[in-house]
Amino acid sequence: MSTGPLVLAWLLPIPISSLILFRLSLPSTSLFLNPVLTIAWSLTFTATLLLPLDLAAAADAPADADPAYTPAIQGSWLATYWVTFIFSWLLLPLIQDSILDGHLTLLSKLRSALRASARFYLVALGVAVCVFVLLALTTDGVNIPHLLLAFGNTYGLLLALLLLGYGLVAVPRDLWQRASPSTMVERRYLLASSMDSDLFEAVWSLQDVELVCDTVSRRPETSIPEVEAFREEIRFRKEAGVADLVEVEGRRARRAGREPSSPRSSSSSAASSAASSSSHPADAPLLDPSCELTPSNLAALNKSLIAAQTDVRRAVRAFQVLVDETAYYESLSSLSPPEPIAPPPNSSAATHLLASLANVSARLHYLFQAHARRATLKLFAGLLACLTGLVLWSELFMGLPVNLSPFGSWMSASRGSASLELLAVTPLLYMSFCVYSSLFKLRLFGRNGLKKRQSDGPSLCFAASYLVRMQFPLCYNYLLMLRYPASERTAFMTLMQSMDTVPLFGTSFSTYAPLLCVLLCFATLFNFYGRLLASMGVDTDDAILHGGDAEEKAAKVREGVTILRRALQAKQRGGDGPAAAGGGRGGGEQEMGINQTYSYSKV
């Protein structure tokens, strides 16, 4: 096998990852952070591209070849695995903690993040030593790299399979539901109340932190320059942190029991209004306002302020997306043919040509949205549902002695490396997409969700760490699922075979754990998953959409109509935020001027 495809597998993901990060990240994201995230994300895609190449090389190698792979493929897997291991478990968590740290300099932020990471890894090291001693006494011995590989892959495999079980059903079902604008609007009305509460609670928690900041700032000055530098930083961050979010000022005003005023006056009275609601349980780890003014205490307070402001921005981001999606799906119900563009009579030929092209483009867009969009989405949803069925069939019968995997059978019948690589990469890409879309769809991870041009540094680091953490276990599960004879001869499987040195986790667990994926698929398909989470009080989208009786859902829809209608009206009036006047709680009732083609009393 030539090195050209391997080089392409390493280089092609770099521009793709850069483009994805550019479309996701905030314009203010650090220039230092983007290259690190690009490398992490590109390594994830590299692992996905390397596996088909590895399979094709093993299939083309002679039957008596030992090994069936080249040193270049083996080196690529080793480099990719251990670099991603370092990124996911050390570097990216360290960067994420540094961004959210309250110290003033980069060096002090790194030191604080290292101390926090060291406490976690000391505990993990103690557990690892105990397991290592136990395995050394009960087996022929195991080395540390194999132990790290086995437990890292076991953790990633379990998480990947749980997310895969959800995504295999959720991805085609969501695509099918997108074909119906009324269904999508109703779902957003159901979610609006919860997301509005999340935003309101985030603002309340921020005000509680600001109360402590104001109290600390009013205390007498000290003779310690570092303490005064911290207090100045806290004052500046408190005033400027969320000053650009009009939505926050409206909610602060309603909490204080008055109409929204200017940002500065509203911000200056936030602390006093927070004092009147001290019974509100704040999520942030607040300090005692009368604590000793030391750099460590002030750094902790600054960290609390950063965390509270970050939570507010994330909540505002999520609410903005909900408002925009509601407006989009509502507009699909009242489409009308576009008005033709008529250039001035004395315009040039080029102007007439551009106007004609614009009219044709607008007409084609209208025809697609009005007539072809629904059928296209349902066709793709049906194809993905068939692919989901094939994946589940292969996962379900993975542990049988006979090969029942359709993917492995098709690959065995393929002729040529190109067709084999295409057959190998298609289901792997689909499974990867199901896992990653589930990671950010579940509201368990919602605070770190990714939004177009609105994702901050901590969210991007969180996403990258989990992407690289799950890709190798997912590839391992994929090879086991294929039951393709050449799989056992690949360089990747040779790397993963070191897991066999750890009983249970490296052997039978990998074979029978996919049954959890199948069970979760059925639970998601019949909405058992959402109802179970709702009964447990876990706040997820599925629990909100599928939990509760018809009367409760109807009440949520009515409340969502009021909240989102107010937000849409504020946006149409030119407000800076999606809901400059605030959400539904605390505001006066307004007329619901909503498109009445939907039945909002039914879900």
Token pair of 416, please?
């040529």
The pLDDT assigned to 442 comes to: 60
Q: CA–CA separation, 142 vs 144, rounded Å?
A: 7
The string of DSSP letters for 410-455 reads HHHH--SHHHHHHHHHHHHHHHHHHHHHHHHHSGGGGGG---TTTB
Q: Is 25 helix (H, G, I), strand (E, B) or coil?
A: strand
Report CA 528 to chain centroid distance, whole Å: 23
- Angle between helix 144-178 and helix 417-441 axes, rounded to 10 deg: 80
Domain-by-domain residue ranges, the chain?
4-162+374-522
> Is residue 200 within 8 Å of residue 585, measured between CB atoms?
yes
The C-alpha atoms of residue 460 and residue 482 are separated, in whole angstroms, by 32
Q: Which amino acid is at 234?
A: I
pLDDT of the residue at 499: 58
pLDDT at position 488 is: 87
Residue 594 φ then ψ, to 5°: -110, 150
Predicted pLDDT of residue 33: 86
Burial class (CB in 10 A: 0-12, 13-18, 19+), 3: exposed
Nearest to 309 by CA among 454, 455, 210, 211: 210
Q: For position 468, what pLDDT does the model report?
A: 82
Whether this prediction's pTM lies above 0.85 is answered by: no
Tokens of 422: 């295409």
* Separation of alpha carbons 38 and 18, rounded Å: 6
User: Which residue in 43, 12, 133, 52 sits closest to 464, CA to CA?
Assistant: 43
Q: What is the pLDDT of residue 14?
A: 93
pLDDT of residue 271: 37
> Which pLDDT value is given to residue 268?
38
Residue 242: closest CA among 494, 591, 602, 576: 576
Q: Mean pLDDT, consecutive 10-residue segments, the chain of 603 residues? A: 83 91 79 86 90 90 81 91 87 89 88 84 76 66 66 78 89 92 88 86 90 89 88 90 76 54 38 36 55 86 89 85 88 85 83 88 90 93 95 87 86 84 92 85 60 77 85 88 88 76 58 82 79 60 66 85 87 55 39 34 31
Biggest CA-to-CA distance, the chain: 92
